[in-house]
Amino acid sequence: MARGHGHGHGHGMPTSRDGMRALWISLVVLGATAVLQAGVVVLSGSVALMSDTLHNVADALTAVPVGIAFLLGRRPATSRFTYGYGRAEDVAGVVVVAVIAASAVFAAVESVRRLAAPAEVTHLPAVAVAAVVGCVGNEIAAQVRIRTGRRIGSAALVADGLHARTDAVTSLAVLLSAGGAALGWRWADPVVGLAIAAAIVTVTWSAARQVLARLMDAVDPDLVAKARGVLAGTPSVAAVDSVRLRWIGHALHAEVDLAVPDDLTLREAHDVAHAAEQRLCHDVPRLAAATVHTHPAGAHP
């Protein structure tokens, strides 16, 4: 006797709205920050501030692919895309990582070029102010993106937020270049630019690991353990044979095999599957759907 049961609990629309709101807020904040910093770059000629500004521009632009992914995720499933378009977020995460990496390469190249041919940095007070503004703006964007991303389960949005948080730290490094320039150290500005590029590489690696893990259907083992515990506590479940979880966009989907007493009727086995599915969707965070298969205890699932 075997019985499958599954329901969808669509959370896509509300969570996509939350994600879009976070992107708009951070886009406005980072856009304003980048415009102010760009003006100071033109006045001062600081390559460290230029690296930071480019990073902020890249960070603002990464909102575009993530936003497109959120919009695609709202579309219903089709006969071709039977799981919907939630995977677009994983593709967006790859684009985000690529943009971060590109900004690191450009910043490094410009810093090396300036290190080979040092130039004077002017308007140092303005450079210092721009650095502080960059730090504050990026931290605001990071807080909004990371908190929202973790709440709705979006790896792409969390990666974007981690990128902004690193920018906040690197913005403060620009203060070191301004201090060095004030002391007459012409090499300080390009050296800080290289340090910023190195910091971008670090966050690129961290974000890439998270995004690629999602592409490989990685989930937190604690979520699997929690799902097993919930299923084991369901009445008439004799054993939990397998639990598979995967992310599709920012929603979890589950496939479960359960052993039930072999004297249950088909209707009773169906009721057990239904109860298990309901308990899973209620107790496991961000689980949107579960397919539950039941079979007689001792039989091969």
Yes or no: say if 95 and 163 are a contact pair by the CB < 8 Å rule: no
Domain with CATH 3.30.70.1350 in the chain: 219-296
* Contact residues for 253 (Cβ-Cβ < 8 A; gap 6+): 83, 245, 246, 247, 287, 288, 289, 290, 291
Report the C-alpha gap between 132 and 127 in whole angstroms: 9
**Tokens 């969390």 belong to which residue?**
158
* Residue type at 37 in one-letter notation: Q
pLDDT at residue number 65: 85
CATH class of the 12-215 domain in this structure: mainly alpha
pLDDT at residue number 272: 95
* Contact residues for 55 (Cβ-Cβ < 8 A; gap 6+): 103, 107, 167, 170, 196, 200
- In tens digits, the chain (301 residues) has pLDDT values of 444 555 444 444 556 788 888 888 888 888 888 888 888 888 888 877 887 787 777 777 777 888 888 888 888 889 999 888 888 888 888 888 888 788 778 778 877 877 777 667 778 888 888 888 888 988 898 899 888 888 877 777 787 787 777 778 777 777 777 777 777 777 777 787 788 788 778 878 887 888 888 889 899 999 999 999 999 999 999 999 999 999 887 788 999 999 999 999 999 999 999 999 999 999 998 898 899 999 998 766 5
Domain with CATH 1.20.1510.10 in the chain: 12-215
pLDDT at residue number 119: 66
The topology under which CATH files domain 219-296 is: Alpha-Beta Plaits (3.30.70)
CB neighbours (10 Å) of residue 148?
A: 23
